[in-house]
Each structure stands twice: as structure tokens, then as C-alpha cells.
Amino acid sequence: MPQFGSALVSSPRQGPPDATSHVEARVVVMRGEYDITTVASLWKWFSQLMAADDADLIVDMGEVTFLDAATISVVIRARTFLAERSRWLLIRSPSPCVRRIFEICELDTLFEVTAG
């Protein structure tokens, strides 16, 4: 059963090479398996978080054990929504299965991915 959680944190946003500013970011923690049956609730969760304020999103995928194309579509849609508003979506700590899917689909070039 997939689980989501979030928290509002201060996060460094990289600006020009000589500046780093701190902005608020919402950390979304995803755990478990995600597929077509969880897409609606996942998008609803992301939508509520993105509408709540002007914070960036950090999506922690360290405990994701499975995700399908529909789930990837939700994450891409969230990234697009945020980018259109000069906001960021960062993937943090992708699990081995997420890392593998991102590499195969070349999503590691679309998203900023950090180890932790």
C-alpha cells in the first residue's frame, strides 16, 4: 500500500554561481508501490501541495519499491506545473528501482536527482 507524507522545510536553491538563496520547499516522501490504481490519489496529493504556497517540491523516493509509467507521468506533470511558475521539483534519494527506471527512460536528464 503506497503512503505519502510531506513537511515544509528550508532548502537551498541554487541561483547564479555566486549566490545561494534559501526558499521553502515541501518534502514529499513516497513509500511503497505506485501504479495506475494510485495515480489519482498521488496527483491529488501533489496538486494540494503545489497549490498551498510557492514552495518548491522535493520528492523523496528512497522507499519506492515499484512505479509505472502512469506514476512517472504524474511526477513529470508536477515538474512541468512548477517549472511554469519558476519553481523546482527535485528527486531525492531514489531507490534502486526508481534509479533504474529513470536511467532507462533518460529521466535522470529531465529531473535534478540528489543522493540525499
The CATH H-level (homologous superfamily) assignment of domain 28-114 is STAS domain (3.30.750.24)
Residue type, 50: M
Residue type, 16: P
What is the dihedral angle through the alpha carbons of 99, 73, 50, 31, rounded to the nearest 10 degrees?
Answer: -40
pLDDT in tens, 29-79: 898 999 999 999 899 989 988 998 888 999 999 999 999 999 999 999 999
Domain ranges in the chain are 28-114
Q: Are 21 and 46 in contact (CB under 8 A)?
A: no
* pTM listed for this prediction: 0.80
Confidence of residue 108 (pLDDT cuts 50, 70, 90): confident
